[in-house]
Amino acid sequence: MIRRKTHFRFLLVTYAFASANFLYAAGPSLSKRCQALNEWMATNSEVSSDPDIIAPASVPLFEHYPYLIRHIPYLDIAKLPTPVKPLNSLGRELGHRNLYIKNDSTTGHLFGGNKIRKLCFLLGQAVYHKADYILTVGGAGSNHSTATIVLSSWSNVNIPCISFLSPQLPTAYTCRNLIISQQYGGELHPCTSSADRAQALLHKAAELQSRSKKVVYIPSGGSNALGSLGYVNAALELKKQIGAGEMPKPDYIFVAAGSNGTAAGLSLGLALAGLDTQVIPVITVPMTSEEFTADARQLIEEMCKLLQLSSIPENIIYPRYTTEYFGGEYARIPNITADALSLMHRTEGFKLDGTYAGKALNAFIDYAQAAAHKDKVLLFWNTFYTDKPRTSFGASDISKLPEEFHHYFTDPLQPGDLGL
């Protein structure tokens, strides 16, 4: 899930297969398993000035840095700001009076969750560069892949999206996302592993390029420098909500960490907002805290370059990662996470996933129960989109999916999966 091991300076990297028609939206390599792309790198190019897509000045990032409006394309496709509210019922259960949620389930008109914030920038760049196709990757139930397919089908984007998906444990949201992706015209390619996924993407990109098609690659989770600006913007949005009295300044923010852009973007954005808040990202993939920390530092450095900052802010508080709630396998729901999901649903009515948000919730609850944090303000940042498909579906819809995905609709769910 972590994006890269190499450092690229600029926002857009053009790879030469035979000509410069394969564009990597905002930065570095596909992953350490896809070094072929690095070898094919031909040129580096910065974001062009005076883009056709001009960001609304009301976006907090552009309020903070007005000079970026004409340098970073942005599509106004998110429903922002997302609400902040106290978790009073959960707080009474846990004996803590300062628990809050920032609910990014509501970011989208057709699909929500944390990926929408990133796609405002990433799809803005794809439209600006007049891409013919968008390629992306994820697990079979990838929220990022689904959000990219849905939003790229909009009339103001209208770029076909091809997604390469690797196996994962069955979840309720996997079925939902596969159906939505099919309904919105996504071209889905089942792959046997992450390595197979990378190779399949390369072959498809080469085939499209041979037909003189311009292809934009958006990485897993949308978590590169450009996409992660979505969460720099989110932190500045939170600062405005604090100023409006919607909640006090949080001491800790709890968020899931898969591709790392949300946590890294929040940490930089909080520093730029002047908030001395510690982000606690809960790792949900088989990576170490040290790997995530190194990746976040690199990503923050790249974002600072995009923002044209002379250096990383001195007041930055780097994320403090934890692997405690991972569960041993991607998308597995440990019993302790299942208990946290049940408690949140019973007290506040939220149904969350056990792959990402539920594990961040688990850490949030543990902190709330610790005596050392009873006087602290704790914010749970929900990144999961909770709704069901907006239209009904049946066997005929499932049959339109590649056969390799059909078993997700019959495999039993894990005991802790609350559904949608």
pLDDT of residue 55: 60
pLDDT of residue 26: 38
pLDDT of residue 70: 86
Position 131, amino acid: A
Task: Sort 269 into a burial class: Cβ within 10 Å, 0-12 / 13-18 / 19+.
Answer: buried
Tokens of 53: 């897509």
Alpha carbon of residue 32 to chain centroid: 20
Comparing CA positions, the residue from 94, 419, 63 lying closest to residue 272 is 63
Q: Is 142 a catalytic residue?
A: yes
Q: Which residue has the tokens 């396998």?
A: 329
Distance CA 43, CA 192 (A): 32
pLDDT of residue 156: 85
Distance CA 158, CA 100 (A): 37
Q: Model confidence over 179-227: pLDDT tens digits?
A: 999 999 999 999 999 999 999 999 999 999 999 999 999 999 999 999 9
Please name each of the domains of the chain with its CATH number.
Answer: 71-113+228-382 (3.40.50.1100)
pLDDT over 50 at 37, yes or no: no
Which position among 142, 163, 181, 194 bears the catalytic label? 142
Q: Model confidence over 314-354: pLDDT tens digits?
A: 999 999 999 999 999 999 999 999 999 999 999 999 999 99
The pLDDT confidence band at residue 420, using thresholds 50, 70 and 90, is confident
Return the percentage of the chain with pLDDT > 70, whole number: 85
The residues near 209 (Cβ < 8 Å, ≥ 6 apart) are: 17, 18, 19, 21, 22, 215
The residues near 357 (Cβ < 8 Å, ≥ 6 apart) are: 256, 382, 383, 384
Task: Name the average pLDDT for the chain.
Answer: 88
Q: Model confidence over 355-414: pLDDT tens digits?
A: 999 999 999 999 999 999 999 999 999 999 987 766 677 888 899 999 999 999 999 999
Identify the bridge partners of residue 134 per DSSP, sorted by sequence position: 161, 216
The pLDDT confidence band at residue 231, using thresholds 50, 70 and 90, is very high
Q: Are 341 and 416 in contact (CB under 8 A)?
A: yes
pLDDT over 60 at 178, yes or no: yes
pLDDT of residue 57: 63
pLDDT over 50 at 49, yes or no: no
pLDDT of residue 284: 98
